[in-house]
Structure 1
């Protein structure tokens, strides 16, 4: 039980950090830029929203079933990895890409406690 709670908290923290980093990164992209810049902006916004939602799910008092939590974590992990890949193409976005990867790892670790 202790490991479960510890991993859940670590995942929620990683999601919060990723949401913050992605929101900041998205705000720095020129909205009238190239198609690639627009992709980075949209991915950053989406990742911030998914991570924020995941953090909220993890913070709830077991009001959601384990299958629902698993789906949310898998969605978050996928979006984070996709966003990190997009951010890799931008100098200065290394911190945001690292936060995305850390969140994906935390989701993977927490998923392991659900099995």
Structure 2
């Protein structure tokens, strides 16, 4: 944000940041739940679902922390974190799409990816 940023732009930035953090939290919750439902002694594909769900939950959790804290991360660092989160969420959604019963988790992943994209758009 530049010094010439209007108050309205600042509010929009903060709203987008909060929406993204909230989407990350929902995605992390859905992915962790999905991962816990997969049989750890199941097939290789089930193991992939479990691993991706855990990884997505961890990335979303880390992204939420970055967005929620004033940790001194610059705009470039925030952008990199958001890009990573968006990428992992889209990957995870594609994997969940192949498994009946994982529709809600796939939807949460896509919503999080969209929120990350929307927030990235405000970082110009």
TM-score with structure 2 setting the length = 0.91
CA root-mean-square deviation:
0.7
Aligned-partner Cα distance in 2 for 1:62–1:110: 18
Selected match of 1:87 from 72, 87, 96? 96
Selected match of 1:51 from 50, 60, 63? 60
| Matched residue SS, 1:92 | coil
Gaps of 5+ in 2: 1-9
Report the counterpart of residue 14 of structure 2 in structure 1: 5
Per-residue deviation, 1:60: 1.0
Per-residue deviation, 1:79: 0.1
- In our comparison, the structure showing a higher alpha carbon Rg is 2
Q: Aligned pair count? A: 115
Report the counterpart of residue 3 of structure 2 in structure 1: none
| Runs of at least 4 residues off by over 6 Å | none
TM-score with structure 1 setting the length = 0.98
Query: Are 2:35 and 1:26 aligned?
Result: yes
Gaps of 5+ in 1: none
Report the counterpart of residue 4 of structure 2 in structure 1: none
Aligned-partner Cα distance in 1 for 2:87–2:114: 11
